[in-house]
Amino acid sequence: MNQTNPQTPHRPRSGFRFDTGRNLLACALASCLAMAAPVALAQSTAATIRGTISGNAGPAANASVTATNTASGLVRKVQTTADGNYTLAGLPPGTYRIDVNADGQSNTRNVTVAVGQSATLNLSTGGVAETAPAGEATDLDKVTVTSTALVETKTSEIATYVSNKQIASLPQASRNFLAFADIVPGVQFTTGTEGSTTLRSGAQLSSGINVYVDGVGQKDYVLKGGITGQDSSRGNPFPQLGIAEYKVITSNYKAEYDQLSSAGITAVTKSGGNDFHGSFFWDYTSDQWTAKTVREEKGEVPKSEQKQEQYGASFSGPLIQDKMHFFVTYEAKEYESPRAITPGRNFRIDQLPAQFQEMARQSPSAPFKEDLYFGKIDWTPGDNHLIEFTAKYRKEDELTNIGGARLAEYGTLKAGEETRLDLRYQYSAESWLNDAHLTYEDVTFGPRPANLINGFNLRVPREGQEARNNPDMEEVLNFGGGGDFQDKGQKGYALQNDFTWNGWTGHTVKAGFKYKALDINAMEKQPYSPQFRYDIRNFATPYEVLFSGSAGNFPPSVKSRNKQFGIYLQDDWEVNEHLTLNLGLRWDYETTPSYEDFRTPDNLANALRGWSNINNPGVDYNINNYISNGGNRKAFKDAWQPRLGFSYDLNGDERHVIFGGAGRSYNRNQFDYLSFESYRLAFQQITYQFNSPNHACTVTPGGNCFNFDPSFYDPETLAALARQRPNAGSEVFLLNNDLKTPYSDQFSLGMRNGFAMFGQEWNSSATLVHIRSHDGIIFSLGNRRPDGSFYPPGVSFGSAPFGENLPGYGKFFLGNNGVETKTNQVLLSLDKPFTEESGWGVSFAYTYTDAKENRNNSDIFTFDYPNLDNVGFTRALGISKHRFVATGIMDLYGMTFSGKLVLASPEAEESLNCIANGPNACYFDPYTPGDSIGFKQFDMALQKEWDTGTDFKLWVRGDVLNVFNWRNYIDYDTYRGAVGSPNPTLGERRDNIALPTRSFKLSMGFNW
């Protein structure tokens, strides 16, 4: 939390403490790791088959158990222990032939295992599966069906599998494989009005997630999308043709998972086999196949031409039969999408100044192009060895930041590029397994303004401040040149190790470490072009200009060679046939030299220490906690994360299992935020005021208030003034010298059930979840009034002391840990897995969420409060209390029917309440529209395949999105009004809706 005066004691930090025994624990972890000769990576994608082999006289000791992958020929062999138990670990997900030989007799079964699954298969060498209650994992309906039917019941993780059948069959607008994660309770996949996609779980934003592809984390260390390629992008992070299946873990993951605080997704890629296979697809939609929006129906905006085209191909097969195989794929996306212009603050277009109305009635299109490549080679030189090499390349370009209050000319040209390489070596022994990855990544992100000209911002006083001089202003319309100029990325190598030991009866012990060396960079010049701001009541003269000045003694780009180290120990202990305990502990550490070695410039440090406004007993913080001398900052060392769980099988038959867990998981601080104090000094954000109606200021020599002259439109005039007035009006960012790493504490209790209904096997789950997240970064205003106060007398909200500038500078911001969320959830699921035998499958997921946060949408800025220490929690934005998702798939007469229904209650909208306590004591009071269903969408898909009598198959598919053309409104009047004058149109629905309207998408292709 925020630092306070030295005289004010710090509040105690709640949570686990590990002050004793750390050395012993470190020694124990190191001892376990010493047993692993090859280096390796956590086996988050590997599957395990285990069970008991019975002979004529009971459990068969020293029986031979062999698993052979039916596609690739991969072989794994083990022998049973004295009590007949066996474990086949480290299996790539897929179908296996299990051969058992004992006492001169044999038995064979074909089974399919899913990503990261531990399945039970008990066999008898008498040729019949060992007798077990109906529905135990020995039942082939539970074991040999497609991966969706495999349910790992005896685990404390809250996890659900997404099968390749669901990925291939369910309707979707984009080929982003993460779009299917929302069929899991507790997960929300959202498509923004501009087409960008986000994945989140609970009250935490997308930055809390992590996705592991073949066991390799895809974390974005700079931006807020959670993983690379998902921050404000319409693109896909990975080609969907390359994904075989994945598992979604919403909370209480085991100790092998790192760098996340909400949901984790572990996916496995496709591999080649002993037969050659190929595929090609093309899908297309356009404005001719899309229903009009509400505004288009009313004629407020013309219907824009749009095109969405996606195409790709894959090819796989053997290089050496049973030994070496390859898989390659390519996918592309080309979009032309409409963007409606909707002025801010609920202004109608006819309320704008006349010269802007025609401009605002246009609906520009935003082009997007993405190329995705993925390739994989696997080699099995011997029964105990597996070597894989994978490569991914992503490139995308788009025009963005248009629509809403931004005209097309104000847009941003955004480019992204990513390369990831992974070399894996796995060694399997009789009672242990080692799995190794050496990885490389190179990711860049570089937005640029579409027009390098001055920008113009039309604004209106913030609600309730119309009568004030110099009111806070809100945007209505932006045009001219945009301000977004960035160059950010990460590049480096990683080495990770995971060692699994099964030689201790009843225990599966894992120990692992990760070391990563990364060059991370961040540069941002905001705004790139000067932004002239106008009050809509007086468009003749700007009242303010915002621009970036350059400081000669700071490099324009912040670069840091970060080092990451993580270590963990996990024991999955089967105490008896009923009780299983999951006991784990991990520790993570990261150095960020750009933050730890940063030195506050002497002139700035002297100005801060010498300003009486912030150096008197009335100030609520100590400025010395934010001044760095290059040696008083240390990397965070307390990221200890216990992860404890249990499952109790009531009858010992895996039909009714109670499970639960408690754990802590650390995410990481985004490098972009840690870089603010450096690149904001390199490109100082300077604001000059102009003495104008409703925005009076005093013109003084050397100050930042001027009488406006047209010469100010010349950027060189502004630059010259900035050089004459070093730091005048510039913004300064200061980080706390003792920043912590964000984390969440997770608690759950639930029950899984397997049962027969309508002659089919069904699975259900009911879980109660409580999650608290802590220590998100918040930047608050550091400026104070002469008496040290933040508010003037009688005020408890807003009225920040923006006019009290730091001498020689302007506003400055303090970065602290402070953002928190609270989430209580009820997660219910019911599914009948798709099987080839039945030809159909369904799933139902319901989530009840009570989510609160102390900062709207976990925003990193607060200007209405001095800090978040005493700020109350309000309902979290962007989350429905009730959410229901149902899916269905049916194969019939060579056709596949599928459907998906999403129903959600209204989300809370940001709103300010200045009525209850008056304008000087406003407070955030989220407004929730009254509709019982805030979002509803039903999608359908139908695919027909023609078998030509050879291995070549043609197919055609049609997807209808939003079949009933339901209108999902996303824009409401949330202004509550003023004291004595409540807003009569509060809650009035505007015409803006979430896309898509009813749309048809045609796809075709072939497989061979």
Given a contact cutoff of 8 angstroms between Cβ atoms, the answer to whether 265 and 187 are in contact is no
Does the pLDDT at position 675 exceed 90? yes
| Structural domains counted in the chain | 1
Per-residue b/e over 319-339, b at no fewer than 16 CB within 10 Å? eeeebbbbbbbbbbbebbbbb
Does the pLDDT at position 720 exceed 90? no
Give the type of residue at 369.
K
Q: What is the pLDDT of residue 728?
A: 61
Cβ burial, residue 381 (10 Å; 0-12/13-18/19+): exposed
223 occurs within a structural domain: no
Give the type of residue at 324.
M
pLDDT tens for 513-572 read 999 999 999 998 888 899 999 998 888 899 999 998 776 556 678 999 999 999 999 999
Mean pLDDT of 790-810: 88
- Residues composing the chain: 1008
pTM of the model: 0.87
Nearest of 414, 409, 381 to residue 395 by alpha carbon: 414
Token pair recorded at residue 741? 């790493």
According to DSSP, the residues that pair with 747 across neighbouring strands are 662, 770
Q: What is the pLDDT of residue 703?
A: 79
According to DSSP, the residues that pair with 756 across neighbouring strands are 761
Q: Read out DSSP for 115-127?
A: TT-EEE--EETTS
Q: What is the pLDDT of residue 136?
A: 31
Token pair recorded at residue 752? 């899984």
Nearest of 234, 206, 202, 233 to residue 219 by alpha carbon: 206
Q: What is the pLDDT of residue 618?
A: 85
Nearest of 688, 698, 347, 699 to residue 542 by alpha carbon: 688
Range of the domain at 542: 277-1007
109 occurs within a structural domain: no
The C-alpha atoms of residue 487 and residue 499 are separated, in whole angstroms, by 39
872 occurs within a structural domain: yes
| Most confident of the following: 79-88, 402-411, 451-460 | 451-460
3-state DSSP call for residue 676? helix
Q: Which contacts qualify for 796-799: CB closer than 8 Å, 24 or more apart? A: 796/920, 796/921, 797/864, 797/865, 797/920, 797/921, 797/922, 797/923, 798/472, 798/863, 798/864, 798/920, 798/922, 799/920
Q: Which residue has the higher pLDDT, 10 or 43?
A: 43
Q: Read out DSSP for 351-388?
A: GS-HHHHHHHT---EEEEEEEEEEEEEEE-SSTTEEEE
According to DSSP, the residues that pair with 317 across neighbouring strands are 326
Does the pLDDT at position 135 exceed 50? no
Binning pLDDT at 50, 70 and 90, where does residue 936 land? very high
Lowest mean pLDDT among 1-15, 319-333, 606-620: 1-15
Binning pLDDT at 50, 70 and 90, where does residue 126 land? low
272 occurs within a structural domain: no
Nearest of 917, 839, 837, 932 to residue 884 by alpha carbon: 932
980 occurs within a structural domain: yes
Q: What is the percent of the chain with per-residue pLDDT over 70, rounded to a whole number?
A: 92
Assign residue 466 the CATH number of its domain.
Answer: 2.40.170.20
Lowest mean pLDDT among 179-193, 576-590, 634-648: 179-193
Q: Which residue has the higher pLDDT, 817 or 343?
A: 817
According to DSSP, the residues that pair with 425 across neighbouring strands are 387, 436
Token pair recorded at residue 635? 């990397």
Q: What is the pLDDT of residue 456?
A: 93
Token pair recorded at residue 506? 């009843």
590 occurs within a structural domain: yes
394 occurs within a structural domain: yes
Lowest mean pLDDT among 63-72, 236-245, 387-396, 660-669: 63-72
Does the pLDDT at position 140 exceed 90? no
Mean pLDDT of 240-267: 94
Given a contact cutoff of 8 angstroms between Cβ atoms, the answer to whether 188 and 200 are in contact is yes
Q: What is the pLDDT of residue 553?
A: 59
Mean per-residue pLDDT over the chain, rounded: 87
Mean pLDDT of 813-827: 96
Lowest mean pLDDT among 75-79, 282-286, 313-317, 875-879: 75-79
pLDDT tens for 484-510 read 899 999 999 999 999 999 888 889 999
Mean pLDDT of 169-193: 91
Q: Which residue has the higher pLDDT, 148 or 462?
A: 462
The C-alpha atoms of residue 771 and residue 202 are separated, in whole angstroms, by 8
Token pair recorded at residue 800? 């920040």
Token pair recorded at residue 565? 């180290």
Q: What is the pLDDT of residue 41?
A: 34
pLDDT tens for 267-320 read 999 999 999 999 999 999 998 999 998 988 888 777 777 889 999 999 999 999
Q: Which are the contacts of 731, defined by CB distance < 8 A and separation ≥ 6?
A: 680, 684, 685, 686, 687, 810, 811, 812, 813
Strands (E), 525-557: 531-535, 544-550
pLDDT tens for 3-35 read 333 333 333 333 333 343 444 334 433 343 333
3-state DSSP call for residue 997? coil
Does the pLDDT at position 762 exceed 90? yes
| H or E element that contains 32 | helix 22-34
771 occurs within a structural domain: yes
pLDDT tens for 210-244 read 999 999 999 999 998 899 998 888 899 999 999 99
Q: Which residue has the higher pLDDT, 833 or 148?
A: 833
Q: Where are the alpha helices (DSSP H) in 769-809?
A: none
